[in-house]
Chains A and B, each alone.
Chain A
Amino acid sequence: MRRRQFIKNAAGIALPAALGGFPAILKAENARPTIRVMGTHVTLQEELRLRAEKELGINIQFYPGGSAEVLMRATTNPSSFDLYEQWSNSIKVLWNTGAIQPINTQRIQYWSEINNLSKTGQITEGAKIGRGDAPHRILYVQKDKTLSSEPSQQVSFLPYVHNTDSFGYDSRYIDVGEPYVTESWGWLLNENYSGKVAIVNEPTIGIFDLALAAEARGLITFNDIGNMSISEIDQLFEIAIDYKKRGHFRGVWSSVPQSVELMANNEVIIESMFSPGASALQGQGVPCVYAAPKEGYRAWHGVMCLSSQTRGEQEDAAYQFMNWWLSGYPGAFIAKQGYYISNPERSKPFISPEEWDYWYAGKPAALPLKGTDGSISVAEGAIRTGGSYEQRFSNVAVWNSVMDTYDYTLPRWKEFVLG
């Protein structure tokens, strides 16, 4: 629905532009550099592409796809893209396979504005640092070409879009809990919801939902939940597969629309969820509560990476595009979809104070707020679960991570899925 809406809007924007000066654009197009951006639907949105093309005077081609698919294409064929937009948990793979090259922070116009979440792991002083592949741990390129939190002028990715994930639940069947106090990942393994639970089908993400849930219920403890040992993995999957075999899980979902479908069809009443899924369900009238678990969120961080094969004109255009992303408008645009940008202050002038209060400050919406598609997406008086941007990112339990045990996890994951 959302994507279809975007395409329609895109057509609406493109048409007047084409009528305005057809021959000039055609000519200009031929002279402009073209960059190929590979990534997922979360950031590869047509409005952004058109706006960036218009503002930067370059041609941009988007190649959106599924996470695994784009990662494979990127790692095996770095010459097939110039920029790669995905999650921080793909950085290790991309870096290790040499698919990406370091980004020079001196060429990033607003580098200094990027907040400490991705630089030190702490959005505010004293904030809890999330486990796993927290962006600051894999940001800086060291002299020995390894990645660490030690600051340098070269970074493996440009920090930009990020958010926290948790689970969503249908308040018609589950009593609404108190954010950070009673809401718990443990609910996912509550036997009362047996048969009505789903988990995101992504081992580097879903495993943390399972782990946080099992830990919350006291079934297991981890030495480091962001870097589990083989025996911890075995123990976790033993628990998960046992639950699965007892019919506790309806299944796994592989896309946001599928997660929406499951809850809208009443096939599940609680599941791992991404924030657009919760918004879509609320839009459909399903009272889906996006939880703020007391154990903390599972956070994700978008990464924009430069292909190891990109040079010259394309490289310049790629830097232009990266800088454009931090220039304010895109951050404001994605803020209306519930995502955060690494330098929020620059986006602030692009949204109304009411929007800022709602999306960033965690305050109730003073008036009905429109989404990027122009329709009302937030009712007056509504309040985001989880509080302000700072509060949210001060409560990160773990970041989506590709752990060292990733390869070992895969067949266990399959067992869980098919169990």
Chain B
Amino acid sequence: MPAQRVAFTTRIYTGYFLIGLITLALGVIAFIGLNTLDRQFNLQNDLSDNLTHATNLGFHAADMQSNAEAFLLQGQLQSADAVETAYRSALSDLSSLYSQSEASIIRRIDRHLYTFEETFKLATSQRSHQHQLVKTTLPSITNNWGDLIEGYQKQTISAGSLATSNKIWRDLLMIEKHMGQYFESLKPSELNLVDENYQHVMGLIDDLYVLESYPPQVARLDNIRNSLSLGYSTFNDGVQITRNYLFLINVVMAAESYEIKYLADKLRDEIRRDLNSTQDQSSSLVSSLSQQLIALSILFILMTIIIGMIVGRSIERPISTLKEVFNRLSNGEREIHIPTYHSKDEIAELAVSAEAFRKANENTQILLDKYQALSSELDEKVKQRTKELEKANRRLKDLSIKDGLTQIYNRRFLDASLIENFNRARRSALPLSVIMLDIDYFKAYNDTYGHQAGDICIQRVTKAMTRVFHRSTDTVARYGGEEFVALLFDTPASAAHALAEKLRKEIESQNIPHRSSHLGHITVSLGCCTWTPDTEFMSGEAILNQADKALYQSKESGRNKLSVCPKKPPSE
């Protein structure tokens, strides 16, 4: 368990703070992205506006030229205003374009617009000058020609002069007509016709001079020639001015408007290219922004989960560790490691509490152990005493029921046991055999070998008895002196007789020397009586008596033998 040094609340707040930071980053990126996108869109709007302006500029240039032509060539007066309108629109479009980068193209367009406009003004003033010449000055001259010819003809007497002056009149009319037609149609061919007629009529006038000598008529011819010459030079002025503005419209303005249109189209194409690239940029920006936002959102979610888990686990783990600690403490465990937290927070305090708890628990346990130790010591002593007491009791009991010398039951126990065995046999209808035995010539043995040897002899006999009658249900007792009884429960007569015989042989086979016996060694005489349900012995005592009688019979008949009582007691 790593030691935590940062406070619980700090960790939670740090978690929130980190998530907040990520959210902020997400927001900032989204904001920057949207801002960039917004700028891109604004740029696109600007470019798209500029595209419109540049496109319009091209149209305005064409309008300017075509309206200028309509005005200057066809004399459509309203077209002059249309030129102005188109020019102003072009300027306005151009000024809207000024903010953009194509400054050099814009400057060039501006220059060409200016030149066009200045040229148009010049052409307009020339045209109005021409108009003045053609509509006022020239007619004021040509209108005199009829009167001049008529004045001359009035005084003409020769047919030749008259005919020539008629030709002159006709030529003058032709000149006037072609002059008018030239200004009407602006056809160069009319110029040649005017020139031809002029040369012709001058020749005719020269012809008349030859014929004329009358000074007033010569003066009239002078007047005609001067007026014609004035008319011709006025016409030529008009032609020159017309040529000039034709030059302006066909050459200067055409080139300027073409240049404006060309540059505007170029600008338009460049703006369109910029626009397309901006649109491409925008769409790639949108896709990269959305990818970034998706990636960031995923990161945001992952970070939120990770931070949540880290913070949560950093809180949950010490708590669950401490819960475990408390559980174990409550179970009384003492070998518990309580983590140390350096975080100086509630968890750390809880750990301190757990440590205090553990210490208190440990003290309590130590006390408890002491008490337990004391208690078990007491128990042991009590047990010991009880054992001793039991032993004493058992000895007391043995002393009361057993024979001190032989450690087999005494006469008192035999009496009680006889009753108990008899009752049990009768209850269970099982046979009960009683064997009584007596050491043959024991008095003499005592006398011969002393009482101590007599005692040893008795002990050897009883040991043999306990060996033969070893079943738990068998009771072996000292009846008195050198007489012993065995009570054999659930032992039929035959078995009892066999056992009794076995015992007799056993003792005999021990070959305990007995000089005072005619047998030479210790022997026993036995009497056995067996109770069965079909016998008529009505008590244990009666059976014992019968066994005693049988013993007596054995004694009587030679000792070292077994005598058995009759099945039915002899009628008394």
Contacts and interface: CB of A to CB of B under 8 A. Distances in A.
Given A251-B259, A254-B255, A417-B255, A411 B241 contact: no
A69 B123 CA distance: 10
Given A410-B250, A411-B250, A418-B65, A75 B240 contact: yes
B257 A413 contact: no
Nearest to A402: B243
A30 to B, nearest CB: 34
B233 interface: yes
A252 B255 contact: yes
A254 B241 contact: no
Contacts of A66: 252
B249 A98 contact: no
A202 B251 contact: yes
Nearest to A252: B255
B465 interface: no
Interface string A200-219: 01110000000000000000
Contacts of B250: 203, 410-411, 413-414, 417
B55 interface: no
Interface string B108-129: 1000000100000010001001
A413 B250 CA distance: 7
A252 B262 CA distance: 11
A382 interface: no
Contacts of A406: 188, 243
A418 B122 contact: no
Contacts of A9: none
A407 B240 contact: no
A96 interface: yes
| Closest 8 pairs between A and B when the two form their complex, measured CB to CB | A407-B188, A72-B244, A414-B250, A417-B254, A410-B250, A201-B255, A414-B254, A75-B240
A203 B243 CA distance: 12
Nearest to B65: A418
A253 B262 CA distance: 13
Contacts of B259: 251
A96 B191 CA distance: 13
A414 B241 contact: no
A109 interface: no
A97 interface: yes
A76 interface: yes
A407 B191 contact: yes
11 contacts: A68-B248, A68-B252, A75-B237, A75-B240, A76-B237, A201-B251, A203-B250, A251-B255, A251-B262, A406-B188, A418-B65
Interface in B211-244: 233, 236-237, 240-241, 243-244
Nearest to B133: A76
Contacts of A411: 250
A410 B251 contact: yes
Contacts of A93: 240, 243
A411 B254 CA distance: 10
Contact of B126 (A71, A72, A253, A414): A72
A202 to B, nearest CB: 7
Contact of A410 (B122, B233, B247): B247
A93 B237 CA distance: 11
Contacts of B249: 414
Contacts of A22: none
Nearest to A253: B255
Interface string A42-69: 0000000000000000000000001011
Interface in A388-417: 405-408, 410-411, 413-414, 417
B108 to A, nearest CB: 8
B178 to A, nearest CB: 14
B246 A254 contact: no
A413 B65 contact: no
A268 to B, nearest CB: 12
B139 to A, nearest CB: 19
A417 B236 contact: no
A254 B241 CA distance: 21
B176 interface: no
A414 B251 contact: yes
Nearest to B188: A407
Given A68-B247, A72-B126, A72-B244, A418 B236 contact: no
B246 A407 contact: yes
Contacts of A76: 129, 237, 240-241, 244
A96 B240 CA distance: 10
Interface string A236-277: 000000000000001111100000010000000000000000
Contacts of A98: 233
B213 to A, nearest CB: 25
B256 interface: yes
Nearest to A244: B258
A418 B251 contact: no
Contacts of A418: 65, 254, 257-258
B82 to A, nearest CB: 18
Nearest to B73: A411
Interface residues of A, number: 30
Most A Cβ at <10 Å: residue of B237, B247, B262: B247
B540 to A, nearest CB: 155
B221 to A, nearest CB: 20
Interface in B49-71: 65
A393 to B, nearest CB: 28
Nearest to A66: B252
Interface string B485-503: 0000000000000000000
A262 B518 CA distance: 177
Contacts of A97: 233, 236-237, 240
B349 to A, nearest CB: 83
Contact of A68 (B251, B256, B257): B251
Contacts of B262: 250-251
Nearest to B126: A72
B258 A252 contact: yes
Given A407-B191, A410-B251, A413-B251, 18 more contacts: A68-B244, A68-B248, A72-B241, A75-B244, A93-B240, A201-B251, A203-B250, A251-B255, A406-B188, A407-B243, A410-B243, A410-B247, A410-B250, A414-B250, A414-B254, A417-B251, A417-B254, A417-B258
A388 to B, nearest CB: 35
A100 to B, nearest CB: 13
A28 B514 CA distance: 206
A71 B252 contact: no
A254 B256 contact: yes
A414 B73 CA distance: 13
A71 B254 CA distance: 19
Contacts of A408: 188
Given A97-B236, A97-B237, A414-B250, A69 B122 contact: yes
Contacts of B236: 96-97
A252 to B, nearest CB: 5
Contacts of B248: 68
A75 B240 CA distance: 7
Interface string A281-292: 000000000000
Contacts of A72: 126, 240-241, 244, 247
A76 B247 CA distance: 15
Contacts of A261: 108
Contacts of A96: 236
A69 B258 CA distance: 20
A97 B191 CA distance: 14
A254 B244 CA distance: 16
B205 to A, nearest CB: 16
Nearest to A202: B251
Contact of B251 (A75, A203, A251, A405): A203
A245 to B, nearest CB: 13
B188 A71 contact: no
A154 B108 CA distance: 46
Contacts of B244: 68, 71-72, 75-76
A253 B249 CA distance: 15
Nearest to A411: B250
Given A68-B244, A418-B257, A254 B237 contact: no
